[in-house]
């Protein structure tokens, strides 16, 4: 006689270990994906994630891999027979986090879900899990929660109270692009408005410690352009106070309507991140980014260097007189290096590129675009 036993919560986690493979959770998403491997073990559920609290091992999972939506790119779409359908109760998921945390295996949690019985019902399960984690287990670690399409104001507010970070995934930059990617989702009401509402909640409760917001795009599946993606990114950085935007290059999944669409070049994803940081951290405007062709970035050069080739090669910036914003236009010079240059030039003239070697990692990258006290650099440092 064979007795059939139910799998434990940790065994169920192993069954869906790769469920969040393309769900970035931290500040270095490209590394998260490279570090994943197929071991069919609990280790696949844990990613080393760079968070606002520092780099830490984070449990990445879902309340359920079942879903009633039919997003064309998604392995969890309704009707896909190859997907392993697993569900967790809030008590199970919270208990698993507590067990792994006590064992020293994780320091945080990233929690998503497929949608069953609507976004509101699913969001309740995610919030219930976070409530148990915080109240029953008194967990003080990092928590990142996904916000389901169509969630309500009170749910969003409570999730922001419980989490360090929340995600509202737009997936596409326009309604038309979203319809080609995920036809059952409503771009404005279910998704974009939710990001704006999160910003409103932070304004309404300025003295509360509330989660920061992020979003994600699926890049390259339905003809979206870099101009479309970065235009909306820039708007959200300004108006919704987003901490960051994730760009996940499309990867075809069998048994989905887009299974025959070519995967997106990883270099395109990388260039989008570089351009996005120029918008977020360097006060660039979308119109300044060096788009070519039908509104995409060059793949052979990073956006800052591509801009410099056009704007600085013939009219270089003098490091002795440029202000901080001008300095940060030069390839190889970021906020910290700009500040170091400003401090150094108060003490002495910068007349030789060798002096820059004490202020930055690769001064030879800056040489074609700068003047030192009115003169082109006399020499460049050797690469080797």
257-269 pLDDT, tens digit each? 999 999 999 999 9
pLDDT computed for residue 55 by the predictor: 87
Summarize pLDDT for 46-66 with one digit per residue, the tens.
Answer: 888 887 778 899 999 999 999
CATH 1.10.150.320 in the chain is located at: 312-371
pLDDT computed for residue 263 by the predictor: 97
Round the average pLDDT of the chain to a whole number and report it.
91
Summarize pLDDT for 192-224 with one digit per residue, the tens.
Answer: 999 999 999 999 999 999 999 999 999 999 999
pLDDT above 90 for 23: no
Q: How many CB atoms lie within 10 A of CB 233?
A: 25
pLDDT above 80 for 274: yes
pLDDT computed for residue 40 by the predictor: 63
Pick the CATH number of 1-167 from 2.30.29, 3.10.450, 3.40.50, 1.20.1270: 3.40.50
The DSSP symbol for 105 reads: S
pLDDT above 90 for 45: no
Percentage of the chain beyond pLDDT 90 is: 78
* CATH superfamily placement of domain 312-371: Photosystem II 12 kDa extrinsic protein (1.10.150.320)
pLDDT computed for residue 119 by the predictor: 97
pLDDT computed for residue 115 by the predictor: 97
Phi, psi dihedral angles at 218 (to 5 degrees): -95, 115
pLDDT computed for residue 361 by the predictor: 85
Summarize pLDDT for 72-113 with one digit per residue, the tens.
Answer: 999 999 999 989 899 999 999 999 999 999 999 999 999 999
CA distance 167 to 266: 22
CATH 3.40.50 in the chain is located at: 1-167
CA distance 370 to 7: 64
Q: Give bridge partners of residue 167 from the DSSP assignment.
A: 146, 214
pLDDT above 50 for 380: no
Nearest of 259, 218, 245 to residue 75 by alpha carbon = 259
pLDDT computed for residue 198 by the predictor: 98
Question: 363 versus 93: which is more confidently predicted?
Answer: 93
pLDDT computed for residue 44 by the predictor: 81
pTM (two decimals): 0.91
Strands 54-62, 46-51: pairing is antiparallel
- Least confident interval from 7-16, 30-39, 184-193, 229-238: 30-39
Q: Residue 11's pLDDT band (boundaries 50, 70, 90)?
A: confident
Beta-carbon-side half-sphere exposure of residue 153 (alpha carbons within 13 Å): 6
Summarize pLDDT for 130-166 with one digit per residue, the tens.
Answer: 999 999 999 999 999 999 999 999 999 999 999 999 9
Phi, psi dihedral angles at 30 (to 5 degrees): -65, -35
pLDDT above 50 for 341: yes
pLDDT computed for residue 50 by the predictor: 81
């Amino acid at each position: 006689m064979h007795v059939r036993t139910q799998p434990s919560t940790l065994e169920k986690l192993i069954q869906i270990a790769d469920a969040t493979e393309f769900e970035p959770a931290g500040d270095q998403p490209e590394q998260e994906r490279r570090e994943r491997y197929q071991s069919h073990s609990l280790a696949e559920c844990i990613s080393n994630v760079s968070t606002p609290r520092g780099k830490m091992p984070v449990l990445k999972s879902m309340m359920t891999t079942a879903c009633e939506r039919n997003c064309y790119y998604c392995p969890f779409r309704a009707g896909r027979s190859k997907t392993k359908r697993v569900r967790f109760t809030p008590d199970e998921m919270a208990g698993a986090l507590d067990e792994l945390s006590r064992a020293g295996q994780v320091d945080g949690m990233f929690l998503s879900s497929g949608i069953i019985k609507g976004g509101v019902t699913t969001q309740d399960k995610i919030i219930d899990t976070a409530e148990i984690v915080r109240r029953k287990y008194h967990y003080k670690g990092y928590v990142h929660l996904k916000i389901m399409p169509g969630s309500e104001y009170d749910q969003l507010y409570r999730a922001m109270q419980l989490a360090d970070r929340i995600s509202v995934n737009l997936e596409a930059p326009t309604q038309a692009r979203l319809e080609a990617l995920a036809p059952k989702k409503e771009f404005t009401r279910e998704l974009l408005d939710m990001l704006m509402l999160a910003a409103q909640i932070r304004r309404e409760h300025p003295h509360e410690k509330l989660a920061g917001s992020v979003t994600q795009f699926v890049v390259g599946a339905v003809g979206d352009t870099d101009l479309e993606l970065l235009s909306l990114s820039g708007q959200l950085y300004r108006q919704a106070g987003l901490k960051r935007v994730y760009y996940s290059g499309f990867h075809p999944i069998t048994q989905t309507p887009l299974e025959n669409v070519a995967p997106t070049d990883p270099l395109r994803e990388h260039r989008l991140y570089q351009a996005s940081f120029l918008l977020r951290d360097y006060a660039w405007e979308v119109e300044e980014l060096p788009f070519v062709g039908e509104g995409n970035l060059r793949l052979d050069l990073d956006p800052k260097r591509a801009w410099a080739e056009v704007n600085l090669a013939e009219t270089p910036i003098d490091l002795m007189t440029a202000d901080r914003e001008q300095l940060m236009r030069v390839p190889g010079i970021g906020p910290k290096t700009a500040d170091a240059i400003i401090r150094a030039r108060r003490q002495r003239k910068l007349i030789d590129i060798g002096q820059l070697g004490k202020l930055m990692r690769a001064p030879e990258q800056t040489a074609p675009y700068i003047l030192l006290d009115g003169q082109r650099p006399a020499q460049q440092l050797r690469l080797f």
